[in-house]
Amino acid sequence: MNRIFSGMQPTRQLHLGNYLGALRNWVELQNSYECIFCVVDLHALTIDQDPEVLRNNIREVAAAYIAAGIDPEKNILFNQSVVSAHAELGWILSCHTPLGWLNRMTQFKEKAGKQKDMANLGLYAYPTLMAADILLYKATHVPVGEDQKQHLELARDIAGAFNRRYETDFFPLPEPQILGEATRVMSLRDGKKKMSKSDESEYSRINMTDDADTIAQKIRKAKTDPEPLPETVTELEARPEADNLVTIYGALAGQSREQVLAQFAGSQFSDFKKSLVDLSVDKLAPITTRMKELLSDKAEIDRLLKTGGERAAAIAERNLNDVKDIIGLLRP
Ligand code: TYM
């Protein structure tokens, strides 16, 4: 059986990278897989959180999933912390993960910055909790953006090592699904940096809750170069900011970069940006509007998350018990 697990952190607002790199693909995939979509709130604790803001962000991410088109009845949609088996399996897997494997993780190095001694243990162990999220449901496929590739390789390594150690094939090796035109959306201020929730500049990203004026302003201010749009993708690739805007356009329009260039080669950026604003507003506004509607009824979101959590827990507890039996923990 093919089962998908994926998740997003409720830290600050979701942005266009999260949407194009992951969420939009989930909406397609829900038609062909059994899917579990999680708001990974335990992962969010790796950075300092204001409790009230965190609570609202969890609801906001759940609302974004639904507004983008995830069906909470057909799929399982829940927040990670309500299923305590995530933390338990996280611990068990951390006892099966050599430090050397974690030391290779580039995202830890980026996030911890220069003061590694001050980074918290959770940030370091983040990838083992992520492996637990996936393996707890014996997920076979994990749709994510390109930045999560290394974490997924680690999850596969952990699953493989566990299977070998206990001479079992209990965990499937989860396959990353890095799909679509925009697997790595870059910052609007710097074409060499990933679009990220943690970037200090609001102008670096388009948030899923931005209104039409804000989207227009951010795209107008997006960094470009003085040349008109080129004719070929090879020429485009030497110009990271231009490449990023063309990639975003293509992803939103359902076109390849070649198709976008066939339409816009020779255009000035001022003109291309106008079309990009119209397209972005056209695609994002209905999602933003629906998110707002959903968020006006917090009790309903909580109810959906609760039901999803119960459905997730039923699978998770069964699998966790099997893991406990395999490794020799007594369940009297
Ligand atoms: P997070 O919350 O950082 O990102 C959520 C999803 O968005 C993708 N993404 C991007 N895609 C393209 N361009 C970008 N600039 C961009 N920024 C983010 C991410 O690749 C991701 O798919 N570790 C995960 C959360 C997680 C998880 C899991 C995912 C925890 N457990 C189990 C899958 C399975 C993360 O930090 O996502």
| Domain shared by 279 and 304, yes or no | no
What separation in Å is there between the alpha carbon of 9 and the centre of ligand 1? 7
As annotated, the active-site residues are 111, 194, 197
> 303 with 256, same domain?
no
Q: What pLDDT score was predicted for residue 290?
A: 96
Tell me which of 144, 185, 192, 247 to substitute to probe ligand 1's pocket, judged by most ligand atoms within 8 Å of the beta carbon: 144
Decide: residue 19, CB within 10 A, 0-12 exposed, 13-18 middle, 19+ buried.
buried
| CATH number of the structural domain spanning residue 281 | 1.10.240.10
What whole-number distance in Å separates Cα of residue 90 and Cα of residue 96?
10
Euclidean distance between CA atoms 40 and 11, whole angstroms: 10
Distances (CA, A) of 217 to 19, 260, 268, 276, 280: 20, 22, 17, 12, 12
Torsion (CA) 134, 136, 137, 143 in degrees, nearest 10: 0
For residue 151, give the CATH number of its domain. Answer: 3.40.50.620
pLDDT tens sequence across 194-209 = 999 989 999 999 999 9
Give the pLDDT score at 112.
87
| Whether 8 and 93 share a structural domain | yes
Q: Is residue 201 situated within a structural domain?
A: no
Q: What is the 119 CA–ligand 1 centroid distance (Å)?
A: 20
pLDDT of residue 29: 97
Average pLDDT over residues 72-90: 98
pLDDT at 99: 96
Amino acid identity of residue 80, one-letter, is: Q
Distances (CA, A) of 174 to 36, 116, 139, 227, 327: 14, 30, 6, 43, 21
The pLDDT of 39-65, averaged and rounded, is 97
- Predicted confidence (pLDDT) at residue 156 exceeds the cutoff of 80: yes
pLDDT-above-70 percentage for the chain = 100
Measuring from atom 7 of ligand 1, which residue has the nearest CA? Answer: 18
CB atoms within 10 A of CB 312: 25
* Residue 3 Cβ < 6 Å to ligand 1: no
In what side-by-side order are the strands of the sheet with 3-8?
76-79, 34-39, 3-8, 141-143, 175-177
Same domain, 39 and 152: yes
pLDDT, position 115: 83
Nearest in space to 84 (alpha carbons), one of 129, 20, 141, 19: 129
Same domain membership, residue 44 and residue 151: yes
Residue of the CA atom closest to atom 4 of ligand 1: 8
**Best substitution site from 3, 18, 83 to test ligand 1's pocket, by max atoms within 8 Å of Cβ?**
18
Q: Say yes or no: 259 and 314 in one domain.
A: no
CA-based nearest residue to 251, from 10, 22, 9: 22
Q: Decide if 214 is inside a domain.
A: yes
Show binding-site residues: 9-11, 17-18, 133, 145-147, 185, 194-198
Confidence of residue 117 (pLDDT cuts 50, 70, 90): confident
Between the CA of 29 and the centroid of ligand 1 the distance, in Å, is 16
Q: Which pLDDT does position 12 carry in this prediction?
A: 83
Cα separation, 102 vs 78, in Å, equals 27
pLDDT at 108 over 80: yes
Domain of residue 275: give its range.
210-292
Co-location of 283 and 323 in the same domain:
no
Once rounded to an integer, what is the mean pLDDT over residues 215-220? Answer: 97
Query: Has residue 1 got a pLDDT over 90?
Result: no
The alpha carbons of the chain give a radius of gyration, in whole angstroms, of: 21
- Retrieve residue 208's tokens: 């899923």
Domain assignment present for 323? yes
Phi first, then psi: what are they for 25, rounded to 5°?
Answer: -70, -35
CB within 8 A of 268, min separation 6: which ones?
228
Instruction: Give the side-chain half-sphere CA count within 13 A for 12.
Output: 16
Q: Note whether residue 205 is domain-resident.
A: no
pLDDT digits (tens, 9 = 90+) for 87-106: 999 999 999 999 999 999 99
Indicate whether 106 and 26 sit together in one domain: yes
Going by the annotation, the residues of the binding site for ATP are: 9-11, 17-18, 145-147, 185, 194-198
pLDDT at 249 over 80: yes
Given this model, what pLDDT does residue 150 score?
97
Residue 317: pLDDT above 80? yes
Known binding residues for L-tryptophan are 133
pLDDT band at 138 (very low <50, low <70, confident <90, very high): very high
Residue 252 within a domain: yes
Please state the domain count of the chain: 2
Q: What is the pLDDT of residue 114?
A: 82
| Chain centre to alpha carbon of residue 5 | 11
Residue 236 near residue 261 (C-beta atoms within 8 A): yes
Could you give phi then psi for residue 327, rounded to 5 degrees? -90, -5
Q: Give the confidence band of 280 by pLDDT, cuts at 50, 70, 90.
A: very high
Return mean pLDDT, the chain.
96
Burial of 135 (0-12, 13-18, 19+ CB in 10 A): buried
Q: How far is the CA of 217 from the centre of ligand 1 (A)?
A: 26
* Residue 200: inside a domain: no
Q: How confident is the model at residue 8 (pLDDT cuts 50, 70, 90)?
A: very high
d(Cα 157, Cα 102) in Å, to the nearest integer?
11
- The phi, psi pair for 155, rounded to 5°, reads -60, -40
Contacts for 36 with CB less than 8 Å, ≥ 6 apart:
3, 4, 5, 6, 75, 76, 78, 137, 139, 312, 315
The pLDDT > 90 percentage for the chain reads 95
- For 300, the 3-state DSSP assignment is helix
Probe residue for ligand 1, chosen from 8, 78, 195, 196 as the CB with the greatest number of ligand atoms within 8 Å = 8
Both 215 and 268 in a single domain? yes
Question: Does residue 6 have its Cβ closer than 6 Å to ligand 1?
Answer: yes
CB distance 142 to ligand 1 below 6 Å: yes
User: Does 98 fall in a domain?
Assistant: yes
Residues 260 and 306 in one domain: no
Q: Do 232 and 107 share a structural domain?
A: no
**Torsion of Cα atoms, 272 then 273 then 276 then 282, to 10°:** -130
In a domain, 203, yes or no: no
Secondary-structure breakdown of the chain: helix, strand, coil percentages, each rounded to the nearest 5:
60, 10, 35
The band of 113, judged by pLDDT with boundaries at 50, 70 and 90, is confident
Whole-prediction pTM: 0.96
Q: Give pLDDT, residue 159.
A: 98
Same domain, 217 and 142: no
Output the pLDDT for position 201.
95
